[in-house]
Chain A
Amino acid sequence: MIVSFPNMGPNWVAFKTFFETMGAEVIVPEPTNRNTIKFGVKHSPEFVCFPFKATIGDFKNALERGADTLVMAIDCGPCRFGFYASVQERILRDLGYKDFRLIPLDQADLLEFKWVKVLFDVSPSKSVSMYSKALKAVIMLLKKAKLLEDIQTAEGLFRAYERTQGDTTHVVNDLLQQLDQTNSLSGLRKFRPIIKNTFANMDIDRTRNPLRVGISGEIHISLEPYVNIDLRKKLGEMGVEIHQSISLYDWVMHKLHVNFHRKWYEHLAKPYVPIDIGGECRWVLGEYIDKANAGFDGFVHEYPFTCMPEVVARTIITNKLKKMYDMPIIYFSFDEQSGVEGMRTRLEAFVDLMHSRRNQDVKTNKVKLVNNQKQYGHYGNNFCHECIELIQPK
């Protein structure tokens, strides 16, 4: 059995460990590229959401490289995502790819433990030892996912301070390689200090006081750099601090009902959208409010073109929240036609806007920059706080 799965940025590291620990052979999806998208666009329904097109392309690549088992998350409404696996399977089979299994990973509520079945499905041996293996696989997945989240957090902060453009990107890539090689629990336990130290050793300019921007939106678009045209990196290289709380770990924790900051967002969003309507709608709303309260300079909302829940979120932010909280926001809806140039121009204008507002606020003493000390209030998780220590002026 040779397992593969769709791309979602660096999260292949976590998925790979998961299936390998179960004893399966894994084909890591080849990084999403032009041909992946071309295939997806050609064979998918015309105006299905973009992640559908990208992930079916990933599947085709994997099948051609010899995968025979594809794993895809599903849920059961209310959005389109639950249909992905089935329709994709149908399309692939109609195209003549016959010898594969598509295993749906039911993520609707992880505490219902339907996903355990997947473990049994991908595990070659069906003996008792499987249980301990399965347990280990889950732990490895969670640990790596958490570490990936930490890398993402640090990356967002440090890129705004690097003296040589590209340093952060190198550091991140190195760390990903290292994390991929680390496959013991004891190794993973030591990994967090490694992340911290690697970033601490970067050549950074602590006297800067960059703009601070929150990013949120649909999860696949937010995590896969090819489909969002590497938005985070582009914005970071314009000297902006990026705070993105969406990650695989964040999502899994949420589905295990132990994600407290998401619960906080839900609480904030409740007056505007009281129920889960799919996608990230209510969390985007909550996060917009939360970041506005924490004094952020701006917010980026990214989602696939015509994505239903995010379009609702956008409507509510534009018509209501933006007027209440007055934090600048820029929307990016991505599909196969999105181009780098248009994005760059819009981002530059957005950054200019935020700068002039910041200057205004400094003049009127709304923002005080004492000694370039950066203030975050109660914002962020523990690791984020540790990183913030590293970027404060000495």
Chain B
Amino acid sequence: MEVSGGAPKSKVKVGIPRALHFYRYFPFWKKLLEELGAEIVLSTPTSKKIVEEGVQMGFGELCIPMKVFYGHVLHLIENHPDLDYLFVPRYVAEDKDAYFCPKFLSLPDVIRILPNVPKMLNFEVNVKEFPISQSVIELGKQLGVGQSRALESYKTAKEYFKEYQDFLRKGVPVNHALRLVQRDLPFTVPKKKSKGDIKFLLLGHGYNVCDTYINLDFQKKLRDQGIEVITIENLPESLFKVPVIVNKRLRNYWRHEEEIMQAIRYYLTKGRDEIDGVIFLISFACGPDSLISELIMRDMKVVGIPFLDIIMDEHSGEAGLLTRIESFTEMIRRKKRKLEMDAKKKVKSKIKSEV
């Protein structure tokens, strides 16, 4: 059907806050919304102003990622008055046995009531109740797209997201990959700079590990000290197949925490010698992490893997953080050297005794 006369219809503008699940699902959202004919407007990377405004909006007991999310929403409202929609999906459950944290369950509800928010697109992922494809069809309807094209878009988006995840599993840092997605560039693995002499597993929610403003560019701080960093997204898919048994009766029911524990399970057992230390980035007042980190800390003690938990809030200072990383890595390097020396001595004495 021809659109009679007139300029081509301009695309629907959809704003996405660069916070929380952005770090997990952005490639999927982008592909999906674009296939459905929308144009995406992202908020800028987290800045001082965004944090300050967010902190003002939320109150003291909220975890920092939520405050930052508020900040990004306010930023979008302020700088893009021409937005047609805001995209704040409700993630309840992505697989049958697991929820997201309660704050994700109610995310659109707390955003909807802010002053001057644009209309919001409804998109609910809750496979306990209905399949994602159904939510996609609903989403399509709101954007004026029919069912079959919506499903087609969903397929494309899923494939693209799979490709993205496989790309991450080659060891590419999430932020690099996200940059490629934003610029519609192909997934090419960057040249590796020199490898570090020690290797850390960096645990935590994507929005803590990858928001370089909030975590004071934590990953770079580590790399600067010659440390190789891997995050959960870099680990092979096979680690995440079997659910973690916390104890006989508890089936972990938090999606993201489950991934953290699955990763840890590997390093506690088979992968014991593949890493030199584990750092867990936690935001202050985070519900799930307060319990999970306790379990992990206890397991680490049993196996003897050095473990550091860093609790972040809007007041975290650069200097204190640096000292903690330095003393932690220093401790590990010393330990490693000692082990190597011991090993050499052993070899020497063995040679001697053989002589």
**Chain B residues with Cβ under 8 A from A308's Cβ?**
101-103, 287
B294 → chain A closest CB, angstroms: 4
Q: A45-B290, A77-B253, A83-B291 in contact; A90/B105 too (CB < 8 A)?
A: no
Is A194's CB within 8 Å of the partner chain B? no
Q: Is the CB of A94 within 8 A of B298?
A: yes
Asked, given contacts A277-B102, A308-B102, whether A87 binds B287 with beta carbons under 8 Å apart, the answer is no
**Distance between Cα atoms of A76 and B294 in the complex (Å):** 19
Given A47-B285, A79-B102, A275-B105, verify A312-B110 contact (CB < 8 Å).
Answer: yes
CA distance A274 to B90 in the complex (A): 11
Residues of B in contact (CB 8 Å), total 38
Residues A48 and B290 in contact, CB atoms below 8 Å apart = yes
Interface string of A18-48 (1 = CB under 8 A from B): 0000000000000000000000000011111
B113, A279: Cβ atoms under 8 Å?
no
- Measured CB to CB, the closest approach of chain A to B333, in angstroms, equals 28
Residues of chain B having any CB pair with chain A under 8 Å: 58-59, 61-63, 92, 98-103, 105-106, 109-110, 113-114, 126, 246-247, 249-251, 253-254, 284-288, 290-291, 293-295, 298, 311
Interface CB pairs A-B, < 8 A, 28: A45-B290, A45-B291, A47-B285, A48-B290, A76-B253, A77-B254, A78-B253, A78-B254, A79-B287, A80-B288, A80-B290, A80-B291, A83-B291, A86-B250, A87-B295, A91-B294, A272-B113, A273-B109, A275-B105, A275-B106, A277-B106, A278-B102, A279-B102, A281-B106, A308-B103, A314-B59, A318-B59, A319-B113
Question: Contacts A45-B294, A87-B295, A319-B114 hold; do A74 and B99 have CB atoms under 8 A apart?
Answer: no
Q: Please, which residues of chain B bring their CB within 8 A of the CB of A89?
A: 247
Task: Give the complex CA separation of A170 and B291 in angstroms.
Answer: 40
CA distance A28 to B290 in the complex (A): 29
Using a CB-CB cutoff of 8 Å, which residues 311-341 of chain A contact chain B?
Answer: 311-312, 314-316, 318-320, 333
* Residue of B58, B98, B109, B114 contacting most chain A CB atoms (<10 Å): B109
8 tightest CB-CB pairs across the interface, nearest first?
A78-B99, A77-B253, A45-B294, A277-B105, A320-B113, A86-B250, A277-B102, A306-B285
Whole-angstrom CA separation of A86 from B288 in the bound complex: 14
A-side contacts of B114, CB under 8 Å: 319
The verdict on A156 contacting chain B, using a C-beta distance below 8 Å, is no
Centre residue among A281, A315, A318, A320 by max chain B CB count within 10 A? A315
> Which of B113, B247, B287 is A49 in contact with, Cβ under 8 Å?
B287
| Residues of chain A contacted by B291 (CB below 8 angstroms) | 45, 48, 80, 83, 87
Instruction: Give Cα distance in the complex from A306 to B60, angstroms.
Output: 9
Interface of chain B, helix or strand or loop or mixed? mixed
Residue of B nearest to A279 (CB): B102
Q: Residue on B with the closest CB to A106?
A: B249
Q: Which residue of A lies closest to B253 (CB)?
A: A77
Q: Give A296 to B254 CA distance when docked, in angstroms.
A: 39
Contact with B along A128-165 (1 / 0, CB 8 A): 00000000000000000000000000000000000000
With beta carbons under 8 angstroms apart, the residue of B106, B126, B285, B298 that contacts A312 is B106
For B101, the chain A residues whose CB sits under 8 A away are 78, 308
What does the 1/0 interface line of A256-293 toward B look like (CB < 8 Å)? 00000000000000001111011101000000000000
Does A82 interact with chain B (Cβ within 8 Å)?
A: yes
Whether A316 pairs with B109 at a CB distance below 8 angstroms is: yes
Instruction: Report Cα–Cα, A74/B249, bound state, in Å.
Output: 10
Residues of B within 8 A of A305 (CB): 61
A47 to B103, CA, bound (A): 17
Closest Cβ of chain A: how far from B308's Cβ, in Å?
15
Question: Of A86, A307, A312, which one neighbours B247 at CB under 8 angstroms?
Answer: A86
Tell me the complex Cα distance, A385–B297, Å: 53
Q: Given A45-B291, A305-B61, A306-B285, A82–B253 Cβ distance below 8 Å?
A: yes
Closest B residue, CB atoms, query A94: B298
Bound CA span A48–B253, Å: 17
Nearest Cβ distance between residue B107 and chain A, in whole angstroms? 9
Q: Which residues of A contact B103 (CB under 8 A)?
A: 308, 311-312
**16 further interface pairs, Cβ-Cβ under 8 Å (given A47-B286, A77-B99):** A45-B291, A46-B290, A47-B284, A48-B290, A76-B253, A78-B99, A78-B100, A78-B101, A82-B250, A83-B291, A90-B295, A277-B102, A306-B61, A308-B101, A311-B62, A312-B110
- A47 / chain B contacts, CB cutoff of 8 Å: 284-286, 290, 311
A239 interface residue, CB < 8 Å from B? Answer: no
- B309 → chain A closest CB, angstroms: 10
Asked if A298 is at the interface of the complex by the 8 Å CB criterion, the answer is no
Which residue of A has the minimal Cβ distance to B57? A319
Measured between C-beta atoms, what is the minimum distance from B117 to chain A in Å? 11
Most central of B92, B287, B311 by chain A CB within 10 Å: B287
Residues in B whose Cβ lies below 8 Å from that of A76 = 251, 253
User: Are B254 and A306 interface neighbours, CB within 8 A?
Assistant: no
User: Which chain B positions have C-beta within 8 A of A77?
Assistant: 98-99, 253-254
Q: Write the nearest CB–CB distance from A93 to chain B, whole angstroms.
A: 10
Measured between C-beta atoms, what is the minimum distance from A332 to chain B in Å?
A: 12
**Residues in chain B near residue A90, CB distance under 8 A:** 247, 295, 298
**Max chain B C-beta neighbours (<10 A), residue from A80, A83, A86:** A83
Inside 8 A of A333's CB, which chain B residues have their CB? 61
User: Given A86-B247, A308-B103, A312-B110, do A80 and B61 touch, yes or no (CB 8 Å)?
Assistant: no
A309 interfacial contact with B, CB 8 Å: yes
Tell me whether B294 and A87 are in contact (CB under 8 A): yes
Q: CA separation between A305 and B284, bound complex, in Å?
A: 12
Is A104 part of the binding interface, using a Cβ–Cβ cutoff of 8 Å?
Answer: yes
- The distance in angstroms between the C-alpha atoms of A134 and B86, with both chains bound, is 54
Q: Are B246 and A86 in contact (CB under 8 A)?
A: yes
Evaluate contact between B110 and A315: CB separation under 8 angstroms: yes
A300 to B92, CA, bound (A): 29
Provide the residues of chain A in CB contact with B113, threshold 8 Å: 272, 316, 319-320
Complex-state Cα separation, A47 to B283, whole angstroms: 11
Closest to B286 in A: A47
Most chain A Cβ neighbours within 10 Å, of B106, B114, B254, B291 = B106
| A85 part of interface (Cβ distance < 8 Å) | yes
Interface centre among B99, B247, B294, by most chain A C-beta atoms within 10 angstroms, is: B294
A276's nearest neighbour on chain B, judged by CB, is B105
